[in-house]
Amino acid sequence: MIRAVMVINTTGKPRFSKFYDFQPVEKQQEIMRRIYAVLCSRPESVCNFIEAESISGPDTRFVYKHYATLYFVFLFDSSENELTMLDLIQVFAETLEKCFKNVCELDLVFNYSKMHTILDEIIFGGQVLETNSSEVMKAVEEISKLETASSALSLVHKSVSGWRSR
Amino acid sequence: MAGPSLMDSLFQRSLDDLIKGLRLHQPTSESTFISKSLDEIRREIKSTDPQTKSTALQKLNYLHSLHGLDMSWAAFHAIEVISSQNFQQKKVGYLAASLSFHSSTDVILLLTNQLRKDLSSNNVFEVSLALECLSMICTVDLARDLTPEIFTLLGSTKSFIKKKAIATVLRIFEKYPDAVRVCFKRLIENLESNDVGIVSAVMGVFCELALKEPKSYLPLAPEFYRILVDSRNNWVLIKVLKVFSKLAILEPRLAKRVVEPICEHMRRSGAKSLVFECVRTILSSLSEYESALKLAVEKVREFLVDDDPNLKYLGLQALLVVSLKHLWAVLENKDLVIKSLSDDDPNIKLEALQLVMAMVSEDNVHEICKVLISYALKSEPAFCNEILGSILSTCCRNVYEIIIDFDWYVSLLGEISRIPHCQNGEEIEKQLIDIGMRVKDVRSELVRVGRELMIDPALLGNPVIHRILSAAAWVSGEYVELSKNPFELMEALLQPRTILLPPSIRAIYVQSAFKVLIFCLYSYLFPDEAVASSPSLPVDLDPGVTSSISPKEFSESSDVVVTEPLADREMDEGFNPRDISQSLEDVSVGNGGDTVIAHEQTSCSATLKKDYFTQESIVKLLDLVERTLCPLMGTHEVEIQERVGNIRGLTELIKQELPEFLVHKERNVEGVKVKALEIVKLMHDAFLEELGPVSTSAQERVPIPEGLMLMENLGDLEGICGDIQLPIPSQFCFGRPHSGGRESTSLFNQQTDEESETSYECTSLLAEHRKRHGLYYLPSEKLETISNACPPAKDPQHSDDVNDDGQDLVKLTEQSLVPKKKPNRAKPRPVVVKLDEVDGITIAVSKPESKDYLISGAVREVLLGNEVSSAQHKLPDKSSNKRREKDKLDIDQPSETKENLANVGKSETSTSKKSKHHIPGKERKHKSSRTNADEREDVQKDKTKSGHHNPRHKARQRADDNVDVIAQTPVIPDFLL
């Protein structure tokens, strides 16, 4: 299974993280810190797979991909194939691109919830469920629609209740 | 009521505001901003307005996952937000729960009803949220309570939901194995879905399950096989391959079936991921199929020559998998492996290194080690240590299996010790001592290597070498009878720079000095017995022989010295740059001895030895010991202090009694017993006792004494002792004040008397003074000021054969790695002591957790149809009738067939004899042309699919059940079609 998905920028700031097996929050931070320490010491154009047993326990490795100012990191175990994980990072990034058009770090910073929505359609409980970014986008758009509808509703509701209480 | 909440909701910061705020702040003020925001959140989250509450929770989610803030306190608020009717708020709530809830969150049970409600919602996205959350936070209770809902969702017509339900089932099974009885069949049905997404999800689940406990899933092999052959989706195929790589090991007949389809994928597919998975499956589980293996190795080579470092890395990893069983696969690619050793990528280098070490055999270990070490010297420290570490671990594998020439290996260890940045001190220490105990023949070389290390004062300043020095000191003391010059050893053990050693190692130095002292005294006092008791000394005086033992030293000394030591003693003075005689003389003027005692590095012969321990030399030795060890009596380290105390007790005794002994000796009086003599003899005999290796399981063989509670939980002991600091050594200062005049009887050495009469401070001052003026035994160019900074260790000598990487490595490929004929060895492999059991076998990997067993037990029940859980019957499902019928059919199978198909096969063959003559017609009627193999296969299929959805299948079930009982041939039929 996939143990975790992280996005860390090149200065070491975590931009997104989701752990699929429960880890205490301090441990999460430590894992991200140590992974970043490994990443920033690696030159360009070397291989993207790294054994992570010392960082996150037995039978774990991670794969990363460097896009502009961001590292995308997937932590996983032996029931996943390394190369498909690399592809999956690509799927994730492609979907973000489709979603935000010319995605950059700032998009990720300000769309924390949407990142979750997108990732949840691709990976579910550590299992890969969807690898087609258009399918993912379809679901994400539906969900966003639902969200805006409900928030509009709540605005109305709020103003009504506010008015009533006056 | 709306007062505070209205204010809050009007002026509440949104998540975007929070993020903007965070970006505005400098890293220094960030934490204050966060804690301020947290205070706001704590206030807002108590609001009665759901929107305010959910926004607060959303901010908390953010701070939790990116800034590491604790949010467990908000668990109840998360549940409140989840219960909102508003989708957006619900989503925030579920995210909070999945981020922060875990098995010990106490309010988790409050979520059960809400989850149940959302799982049955008409809105697929609400269902999806609930499933997501459940898959993350599933507990035993939740799994048990929500199994019916999940079961229903498994039958959903919407693929969007079905996929997620399938993935959730995995977590449900893990927590609540009984759910297997309910949901497993539906899961299997979905393997035949036309929707690739669903098949992929199911295979994901089976892959996880099968990796943990493969045996139970063997009956599903036909289903998996069909997917392997039919599916064109790489994600699905990869998962199927992962499952088969586990199953094929268990069932050889299955392996035979799947090997061809896998090769087909390997040839056909353009997807590297799929090809790699095929390669990995073949190499790890199907390597006995030669043509498949060849094809896989070909593919690996394609990976290795690829420009993509990822493929190169994976290719090397794959080779490592196969290297144990089929070394030829590595040898065939050795050129590429060696090339990868100098890759830019540290990961690739490490993999290549492991492969190179896998190629090491007893024939090429010399060459490979030589080349690797010269390569290590040019590498950066981290990789250098990796190389050294892997050389060490490879050579000591299976009790030094590949080492024939231990002399070479021991000197290699000495060489490695001197490599700068060598961090492997601990391992080298372990091996030096281990070899000493196990291999008798190598001890003299070991002592030589130990000496080389010990007499180099530069090494003492390098903390990473201290562990090695400790081994060298131990070896020198333990095997001192093999030493060529015990006096020199003593000087080395007591040299001033030893204050740089940590106390524990210094204690070993002192103990070794004790052993050396005992040996010298014994050799002097009992010259005849000493010769007899050291039979392994080279008795031959032939220069040729001595030079073969230590050519380097031999070249330094002269033949004359060896053959006519007595005549040339005076000339010897200073012939050796490491000679210590000068410094000795400085301090032992009181002796008045005009001869320089033999400190030369001659090879000792028995006859030489006799004259070697003269009265003067012994006296000097005693002086040296007293002088250097007395100051240590005041040390704070009990380990050192105690040992020094022992030595001093002995030296004092000897000094008192030696004159008496000499008198007797001169008069040739026989049979006079002197107390000190007896002690020396006793001690010597005690030290002569050989220390051997101890089996790792030795302790297990000791019967447990009655009344000893071994299993008692000492977990809380740590808690108790946690606050108690380990005693600081200085609290244990037992240093005796040195009393003056206690050595008034000593006739030998005025200077020593003076020294010991002065106080400890004076002595240490004196030592300090001597240090400052270089008044100790090493030649002046070696003398650096004593500092804790590491002086450069002696330059390794192989710097000149470090040429070009490429050249060396190419040489390596050309020579060493070619499996060649065994050369005639000059010397046979010495005896290596091994214990009864195989050394170093690690205890078998612990068994999977009980939960997995529970799952697999349930899986087997379902697959082999032993038993129906009652839960299944209450399920609101149309197909349950059929299932019940089928279960009934299966009940009459013997419930003991828990194991697997192999066992089933056996029981079939055993029953086949008696059942041979009845109902053969029944099955023939069913399908006339089937072979036994086919029958078996159908049995499997029926057991697994059990024909819920195929009425014809069900009809056949009856017949097949019979087939199961009356399988015809004793030959185990084939597994698959």
> Contact, B102 vs A22, CB < 8 A?
yes
Contacts of A86 in chain B (CB under 8 A): 310
B211/A154 CB distance under 8 A: no
pLDDT at position B82 = 94
Q: Which residues contact B951 (CB under 8 A, 6 or more apart)?
A: none
Please report the beta strands in B506-576, taking only residues with DSSP state E, as ranges in sequence order. Answer: none
**Mutation target among A127, A136, A158 for the B interface, most CBs of B within 10 A:** A127
* A7 DSSP β-pair partners: A16, A72
> Contact, B167 vs A125, CB < 8 A?
yes
CA gap B44, B756 in Å, rounded:
80
CA gap A17, A5 in Å, rounded:
6
* A9 DSSP β-pair partners: A70
* A62 DSSP β-pair partners: A50, A75
- Least confident range of B11-20, B435-444, B468-477, B886-895: B886-895
A49/B347 CB distance under 8 A: yes
CA gap B824, B212 in Å, rounded:
49
Residue B739 has pLDDT above 80, yes or no: no
A139/B135 CB distance under 8 A: no
Contacts 24+ apart (CB under 8 A), B364-367: B364/B815, B364/B816, B364/B817, B364/B820, B365/B395, B365/B402, B365/B403, B366/B405, B366/B408, B367/B812, B367/B815, B367/B816
Local confidence band at B641 (pLDDT 50, 70, 90 cut-offs): confident
Residue B577 has pLDDT above 80, yes or no: no
CATH T-level topology, domain A2-164: Beta-Lactamase (3.30.450)
**Span A92-108, mean pLDDT?**
92
The first and second tokens of residue B78, run together, are 């998360």
| φ, ψ of residue B261 in degrees (nearest 5) | -55, -35
Name the helix (H) or strand (E) containing B864.
helix B850-864
Residue B178 has pLDDT above 50, yes or no: yes
Choose among B16, B49, B123: nearest Cβ to A110.
B16
Domain boundaries along the sequence of chain A = 2-164
* A123 DSSP β-pair partners: A128
B273-282, pLDDT tens digit by residue?
Answer: 999 999 999 9
A109/B272 CB distance under 8 A: no
Residue B124 has pLDDT above 60, yes or no: yes
> Contact, B473 vs B491, CB < 8 A?
no
For residue B172, the distance in angstroms to the closest alpha carbon of chain A comes to 12
B242/A143 CB distance under 8 A: no
B428-450, pLDDT tens digit by residue?
Answer: 999 999 998 888 888 999 999 99
Contacts of A130 in chain B (CB under 8 A): 163, 197
Choose among A17, A124, A129: nearest Cβ to B65.
A17
A161/B2 CB distance under 8 A: yes
For residue B135, the distance in angstroms to the closest alpha carbon of chain A comes to 5
**Span B913-942, mean pLDDT?**
44
pLDDT at position B764 = 54
> Contact, A117 vs A143, CB < 8 A?
yes
> Contact, A36 vs A71, CB < 8 A?
yes
For residue B94, the distance in angstroms to the closest alpha carbon of chain A comes to 11
**Span B4-15, mean pLDDT?**
68
B167/A116 CB distance under 8 A: no
Contacts of A129 in chain B (CB under 8 A): 163-164, 167, 197, 200-201
User: Could you tell me the CA-to-CA distances from B287 to B255, B281, B425 in Å, in that order?
Assistant: 10, 9, 39
Helix, strand, coil shares of chain A, percent, nearest 5, are 55, 20, 25
- Least confident range of B435-439, B484-488, B852-856, B943-947: B943-947
User: Could you tell me the CA-to-CA distances from B638 to B506, B507, B728, B760 in Å, in that order?
Assistant: 11, 9, 11, 17
pLDDT at position B819 = 47
pLDDT top residue among B685 and B566: B685
CA gap B844, A46 in Å, rounded:
36
Q: How many CA atoms lie within 13 A of B227 on its CB side?
A: 31
| φ, ψ of residue B818 in degrees (nearest 5) | -75, 120
B348/A45 CB distance under 8 A: no
For residue B733, the distance in angstroms to the closest alpha carbon of chain A comes to 41
A46/B89 CB distance under 8 A: no
The angle that helices B221-230 and B252-268 make with each other, rounded to 10 degrees, is 10
- Measured between CA atoms, the residue of chain B closest to residue A3 is B136
B482-538, pLDDT tens digit by residue?
Answer: 888 888 888 888 888 888 889 889 999 999 999 998 888 888 887 766 555 544 444
The string of DSSP letters for B609-620 reads HHHHS-HHHHHH
Local confidence band at B946 (pLDDT 50, 70, 90 cut-offs): very low
Local confidence band at B546 (pLDDT 50, 70, 90 cut-offs): very low
pLDDT exceeding 90 applies to what percent of chain B? 29
Q: How many CA atoms lie within 13 A of B154 on its CB side?
A: 30
**Span B359-363, mean pLDDT?**
86
pTM of the model: 0.68
- Least confident range of B80-89, B174-183, B549-558: B549-558
Residue B561 has pLDDT above 50, yes or no: no
pLDDT top residue among B545 and B38: B38
CB-based burial label for B947 (10 Å; 0-12, 13-18, 19+): buried
pLDDT at position B6 = 58
**Mutation target among B38, B88, B849 for the A interface, most CBs of A within 10 A:** B88
A32-60, pLDDT tens digit by residue?
Answer: 999 999 999 888 888 999 988 889 889 99
> Contact, B162 vs A46, CB < 8 A?
no
Q: Across the A/B interface, how many CB contacts are shorter than 8 Å?
A: 159
CA gap B336, B334 in Å, rounded:
5
Collapsing DSSP states into helix, strand and coil, what is residue A160?
helix
Three-class SS of B176-207? CCCHHHHHHHHHHHHHHCCCHHHHHHHHHHHH
Instruction: Residue count of chain A, please give it.
Output: 166
Contacts of A60 in chain B (CB under 8 A): none
CA gap B263, B267 in Å, rounded:
6
A49-51 and A127-128 strand pairing: unpaired
CA gap B331, B315 in Å, rounded:
14
- Measured between CA atoms, the residue of chain A closest to residue B204 is A127
* A64 DSSP β-pair partners: A73
Picking from B861, B344, B938, the residue whose alpha carbon sits closest to that of residue A43 is B344
CA gap B147, B165 in Å, rounded:
11
CA gap B442, B324 in Å, rounded:
30
Task: Give residue B740's region: left, alpha or beta (phi > 0; psi -120 to 50).
Answer: beta
Contacts of A26 in chain B (CB under 8 A): 68
**Span B20-44, mean pLDDT?**
89
A83/B314 CB distance under 8 A: yes
* A128 DSSP β-pair partners: A123
Local confidence band at B205 (pLDDT 50, 70, 90 cut-offs): very high
**Span B449-453, mean pLDDT?**
90
For residue A110, the distance in angstroms to the closest alpha carbon of chain B comes to 6
Contacts of B344 in chain A (CB under 8 A): 43, 45-46
B646-703, pLDDT tens digit by residue?
Answer: 888 888 888 887 777 777 666 655 555 567 778 888 888 888 887 777 777 777 787 8
Local confidence band at B423 (pLDDT 50, 70, 90 cut-offs): confident
A143/B125 CB distance under 8 A: yes
pLDDT at position B768 = 55
CA gap B115, B136 in Å, rounded:
13
CA gap B886, B958 in Å, rounded:
9
| φ, ψ of residue B747 in degrees (nearest 5) | -95, -10
B167/A26 CB distance under 8 A: no
Contacts of B164 in chain A (CB under 8 A): 124, 129
pLDDT at position B279 = 94
User: What ipTM does this complex have?
Assistant: 0.93
Helix, strand, coil shares of chain B, percent, nearest 5, are 70, 0, 30
B313/A15 CB distance under 8 A: no
The first and second tokens of residue B937, run together, are 């296969």
B87/A78 CB distance under 8 A: no
- Measured between CA atoms, the residue of chain B closest to residue A20 is B136
| φ, ψ of residue B288 in degrees (nearest 5) | -80, -10
Choose among A15, A47, A84: nearest Cβ to B309.
A47
